[in-house]
């Protein structure tokens, strides 16, 4: 099943899509898909209600707007240079420890919402990433083996970046990562149970041209390691999101550096987790 939030911005309603593509209303079960829902066994309640046929059907969801699949996100923690080929195209050595930076939760938009190129930007870039959504508090985990029980599920993220702001303006990366609309998320939150994460294939296209194509198995630091590692420095709370890094093929690493311009269309996909499509404005 796939959890989602459907409707206009600010008016999304929680829903679930079953394995046959039918959408069902969750408003009788929860006010939203958020941290308290995830921490309180919400995913299992939805699974049980869906199996029992207790949820009202929404009808055809085709053409409806998908919002971010998680509401009330506390923080977005990002991992940089987590694919060896991307580190190489960035001119960096593979890191000995995860590179960590933050994005503000207000960068999050729906998977098909417009992405706004910042004022004075000439180097806006795309990054397809596997997003991890935390389901229970994680602090000082003993080992990566402890991480799985703290993960609610996974989603597609676009870690949109402005490379001049990020790399050429001094200080840390945050200036190039926190512009408005710089974290499209969704369309779905897919529960972690039974998901073969290393096999997930991450791909992106710009104006129909293939750009990125690797599997999560190519990460330098896999998901359990990342969750364990972050828990040594901060508490991860239900509803927090971790962007786990992007594969090679971003504009910064390509010949001619074809950065995004108004009117460009970016599409991103992770097998089993859904597809995004954004127009740059």
Residue 115 DSSP symbol: B
pLDDT at 59: 75
What is the DSSP annotation of 137-202? Answer: -B-S-SSGGGSGGGEEEEEEEE--EEHIIIIISSS-GGGGT-STT-EEB-S-BEESTT--GGGPEE
pTM: 0.96
CB 160 within 8 Å of CB 126 = yes
pLDDT at 144: 98
pLDDT at 4: 98
**SS3 call for 75:** coil
CB 268 within 8 Å of CB 203 = yes
pLDDT at 63: 78
- The two tokens of residue 156 are 């597609």
pLDDT at 87: 83
Q: How far apart are CA 161 and CA 175, in angstroms?
A: 9
pLDDT tens-digit profile, the chain (281 residues): 999 999 999 999 999 999 999 999 999 999 999 999 999 999 999 999 999 999 999 977 777 899 999 999 999 999 999 998 888 888 888 999 999 999 999 999 999 999 999 999 999 999 999 999 999 999 999 999 999 999 999 999 999 999 999 999 988 899 999 999 999 999 999 999 999 999 999 999 999 999 999 999 999 999 999 999 999 999 999 999 999 999 999 999 999 999 999 999 999 999 999 999 999 99
Dihedral sign computed on CA atoms, order 47, 53, 54, 60? positive
- Separation of first and last alpha carbons in the chain: 33
């Amino acid at each position: 099943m796939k959890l989602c939030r459907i409707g206009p911005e600010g008016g999304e309603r929680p829903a679930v899509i079953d394995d046959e593509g039918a959408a069902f209303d969750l408003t009788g079960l929860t006010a939203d898909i958020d941290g308290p829902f995830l921490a309180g066994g919400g995913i299992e309640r939805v699974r049980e209600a869906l199996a029992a046929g207790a949820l009202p059907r929404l009808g055809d969801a085709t053409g409806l707007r998908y919002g971010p699949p998680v509401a009330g996100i506390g923080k977005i923690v990002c991992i940089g240079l987590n694919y060896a080929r991307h580190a190489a195209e960035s001119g960096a050595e593979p890191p000995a420890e995860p590179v960590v930076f933050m994005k503000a939760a207000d960068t999050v938009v729906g998977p098909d919402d417009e992405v706004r190129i910042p004022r004075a930007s000439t180097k806006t870039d795309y990054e397809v990433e596997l997003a991890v959504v935390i389901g229970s508090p994680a602090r000082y985990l003993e080992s990566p083996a402890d991480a799985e029980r703290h993960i609610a599920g996974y989603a597609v993220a676009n870690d949109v970046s402005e490379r001049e702001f990020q790399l050429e303006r001094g200080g840390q990366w945050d200036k190039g990562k926190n512009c408005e609309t710089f974290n499209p998320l969704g369309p779905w939150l897919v529960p972690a149970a039974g998901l073969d994460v290393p096999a997930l294939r991450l791909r992106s296209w710009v104006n129909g041209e293939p750009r990125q194509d690797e599997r999560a198995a190519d990460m330098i630091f896999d998901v359990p390691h990342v969750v364990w590692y972050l828990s040594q420095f901060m508490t991860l709370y239900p509803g927090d999101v971790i962007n786990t890094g992007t594969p090679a093929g971003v504009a910064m690493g390509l010949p001619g550096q074809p950065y995004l311009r108004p009117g460009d269309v970016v599409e991103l996909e992770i097998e089993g987790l859904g597809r995004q499509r954004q127009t740059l404005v």
